[in-house]
Each structure stands twice: as C-alpha cells, then as structure tokens.
A = this chain, B = another copy of it.
Amino acid sequence: MTVRERLSQAAFELFDERGFDETTVDDIAARAGTGRTTFFRAFGSKEEVVFPDHDGLLASVQARLDAARPGSEPAAVAEAARLVLLHYLAEGDLARTRYRLTRRVPALRAREIAGQRQYQRVFLGFVRPWFREGYGEGARADLRAELLADAVVTGHNHVLRQWLRGRTETPEADFDAAMTEVLGLFAPASGDPTAGIVVLRTDRDLDAVLPQLRRVLAPGASMEP
C-alpha cells in the first residue's frame, strides 16, 4: 500500500468516526504513520483527499470528447458522461461514503459542486461549436449549448444520486434513458438521425394530433425513431 493510499484510508476512517471538521491533518498523518508534510505532498489540501480522482476523470472526459468524430456528437456526449458514471459505480462503497460526507459538510459540498461545474464547462466547450453550426451563431445557440451542457451533468447526477441512495439497481439502464431524454430535449438538428428534434410552440387544439404525438412522446419509446 502506497503512502497515498494509507493516507486516504486513514482520512476516510477518521472522517467517518469523528467527522470532517473534527479531524485535523495531523490526526490523519498520525494514523497513516507519516508526517504532516507528507500528507500535503500527497494531497494538496484536506478536501482533496475526498475527491482524489477528479482531475483525472475530467481529463478522460475531455479526451473522449476530443476523440469524437463530426456527426456523432450525441453519442460522444453520452459516452463521455458514462465514463464518469462508471467510475463511481466501480468505486462502490467509497462513492457512498463520499456522498454521505458531501451531504454533511458544506465545504465539501461546495467543492463537489464546483467540480461538477468543471464537467459542465468541458461539455460546453465541445457542444457549443456543434450548436453554432446547428442553429447558427448567436445568443440562441450559445444559450442552448449551455443548457445542454448543464442537462448532461444534471442527468448524470440524477441517475448517480438514485444509485448512491440505493434507489435503483440498474443505474446504467437509467443512465441511457436519462441521456436519451436530455439529448432529445436539446440536441440540434444534424446529420445524425437521432438528433431530429423540434421545439414547437402553439396555442391550439392538441387532441387532433395527440394520437400521432403519443407515439413519439411515449415514455421509453419516444426518443428513438
């Protein structure tokens, strides 16, 4: 076990026993059998122990998006987001412990949220050019791109949260459904046959088209042609 791993384990144990604020860096270092200096060389800050893989995960999302080919943007977005989900699923109990910690400690919550925003920024950087192409440049395309980048992160978080709370046994299937929903709401028209989405605003009788619409709007079946 590396020093870093010993420190991480000691930290999570102590956070669980006493709480985050009640644990000092000295406590962690002592339990791990190292000095304080070593802790800060390994982790940079006390909070960072809780989110050790954040930067790497963010980079892998960016890499997945960078590797996307034109025309497959929706798939690239979904697959990049899936990387994050799979990472947490693989962590198992550790992810649940982190979840409990972030619910309880405002500073950790703030850091988690800031981290999520970084994902949103990465998705935005990928999605904005695509939207400008699909909708034309201007505020409308940029706003929609922001909304989609948000929605991808929120969709992911929604599913992850259900799993962290033990509310679902099928997070990956839920994820597919959520991504379909999200991409269906936002993706601009493009060469991709899965991206033919229209926003309509009217002010009259729905019943006439309802049967026809039901086919398209039906849960589960709605998004795939």
Q: Which residues of A are in contact with B by a Cβ distance under 8 Å?
A: 109-111, 113-114, 117, 139-140, 142-144, 146-147, 150-151, 154-155, 158, 162, 174, 178, 181-182, 184-186, 189, 193, 196-210, 212-219, 221-223, 225
Contact = CB atoms under 8 A, between A and B. Distances in A.
A214 B219 contact: no
* Copies of chain A in the complex: 2
Given A140-B181, A201-B184, A217 B212 contact: no
Contact of A174 (B139, B146, B209, B222): B139
A153 B185 CA distance: 17
A186 B182 CA distance: 11
A178 B143 contact: yes
17 contacts: A109-B114, A110-B110, A110-B111, A110-B113, A142-B158, A146-B154, A147-B151, A189-B206, A196-B202, A198-B202, A198-B210, A199-B199, A199-B200, A200-B217, A202-B215, A203-B219, A207-B216
A196 B189 contact: no
Contacts of A144: 181
A206 B216 CA distance: 5
A209 B204 CA distance: 15
Main secondary structure of the interface of A (DSSP, over half): helix
A218 B203 contact: yes
A109 B118 CA distance: 11
A150 B154 contact: yes
Contact of A198 (B140, B142, B200): B200
Contact of A202 (B113, B208, B213): B213
Contacts of A189: 206
A217 B221 contact: no
Given A113-B114, A204-B215, A206-B217, 6 more contacts: A114-B114, A185-B185, A204-B218, A210-B221, A210-B225, A214-B225
A58 to B, nearest CB: 15
Contacts of A111: 110
Given A117-B113, A154-B146, A140 B219 contact: yes
